[in-house]
């Protein structure tokens, strides 16, 4: 039997790659490289203004997530908006992988846990798995390490473009409204510098499916001084962040 049993249901998983419900496959495979973007409508605006071709869509009760193919510096790549939260983001990521995507760069905002200015760029190297989705894919563990090849590709791109960045550990949580004062202190003691809601789960799916995944984060709000400050939610650098994700995907 392929099921790993455990006292707590969240830690039980099946090692089989195939499930009863799998993502729909389109008639033609997608390009192997994809930018998976937590950047709201900036993704569609960019695709439509740069000759993007609609090649697929993932329909949910919330909205339909459209996958576009664009030609970026002579190479065909996918771009797709990513939804908030690990379960939703993983569902769309699975759809991309099922249709031939093998290398993914995700990009989106995060909350600062330490003193970081708004719009500071972070390359996650490890993520604390404080979400449920990753446990359905890989063996239970406190943290997951991000793919070194992807980390190196992103850092190469950042240095090439003279973009200041930091490497760091991210706290990935399901509980947006459970980022309490004491929990923030605890995660900071574990050397987490930012918090997000998807990174560890996306990394786990990539490991399970055998594809290469990396992420670019940039700070939006902050919890660094014991209270929450939304600042400007990082909106002013959405366009730049999208461009950096595309640049990074070419560096694999």
Total domains in the fold of the chain: 1
Per-residue confidence (pLDDT) for residue 1, from 0 to 100: 58
In a domain, 36, yes or no: yes
Mean pLDDT across the chain? 96
The pLDDT of residue 2: 84
Strand ranges (E), 11-117: 13-14, 33-38, 53-59, 64-72, 75-81, 103-112
Q: CA–CA separation, 49 vs 39, rounded Å? A: 16
- Estimate the crossing angle of helix 42-49 against helix 238-249, to 10 degrees: 60
The answer on pLDDT for 4 being more than 90 is no
Report the CATH number that the domain containing residue 65 is assigned in CATH.
Answer: 3.40.50.1580
- Model confidence at 252, in pLDDT bands (50, 70, 90)? confident
Query: Is residue 3 pLDDT above 90, yes or no?
Result: no
- Considering the domain boundaries, does residue 163 fall inside one? yes
Task: Give domain status of residue 153, yes or no.
Answer: yes
Residue 19 lies in a domain: no
- Has residue 42 got a pLDDT over 90? yes
176: left (phi over 0), alpha (psi -120 to 50) or beta: alpha
Domain range enclosing 220: 28-249
Angle CA(202)–CA(208)–CA(211) in degrees, nearest 5? 70
CA torsion 221-222-223-225 (nearest 10°) is: -150
Would residue 1 count as lying in a domain? no
Q: What is the rounded average pLDDT of the residues 37-64?
A: 96
Within a domain: residue 169? yes
Q: Is residue 238 a part of any domain in this protein?
A: yes
Kindly state whether residue 80 falls inside one of the protein's structural domains.
yes
Instruction: Please state the rounded mean pLDDT for residues 82-99.
Output: 98
Instruction: Please tell me the distance from the alpha carbon of residue 220 to that of residue 202, in angstroms, as a whole number.
Output: 20
Q: How do residues 105-160 score in pLDDT, each as one tens digit?
A: 999 999 999 999 999 999 999 999 999 999 999 999 999 999 999 999 999 999 99
Q: Model confidence over 9-39: pLDDT tens digits?
A: 988 899 999 999 999 999 999 999 999 999 9
Q: What was the pLDDT predicted at 5?
A: 78
């Amino acid at each position: 039997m392929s099921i790993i049993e455990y006292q707590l249901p969240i830690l039980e998983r099946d090692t089989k790659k195939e499930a009863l419900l799998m993502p729909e496959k389109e008639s033609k495979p997608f390009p192997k490289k994809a930018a998976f973007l937590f950047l709201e409508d900036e993704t569609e605006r960019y695709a439509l203004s740069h000759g993007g071709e609609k090649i697929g869509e993932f329909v949910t009760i919330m909205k339909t997530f459209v996958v576009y193919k664009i030609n970026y510096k002579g190479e065909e790549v996918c771009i797709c908006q990513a939804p908030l939260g690990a379960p939703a983001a993983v569902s769309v990521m699975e759809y991309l992988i099922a249709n031939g995507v093998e290398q993914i760069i995700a990009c989106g905002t995060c909350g600062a846990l330490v003193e970081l200015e708004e719009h500071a760029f972070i390359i996650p190297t490890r993520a604390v798995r404080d979400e449920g989705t990753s446990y359905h894919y890989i063996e239970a563990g406190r943290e997951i390490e991000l793919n070194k090849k992807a980390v190196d590709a992103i850092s190469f791109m950042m240095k090439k473009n003279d973009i200041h960045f930091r490497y760091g550990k991210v706290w990935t949580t399901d509980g947006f409204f459970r980022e309490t004062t004491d929990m923030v202190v605890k995660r900071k003691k574990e050397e987490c510098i930012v918090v997000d809601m998807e990174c560890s789960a996306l990394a786990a799916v990539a490991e399970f499916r055998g594809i290469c995944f990396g992420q670019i984060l940039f700070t939006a709000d902050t919890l660094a001084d014991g209270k929450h400050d939304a600042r400007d939610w990082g909106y002013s650098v959405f366009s730049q962040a999208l461009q950096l994700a595309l640049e990074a995907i070419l560096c694999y």
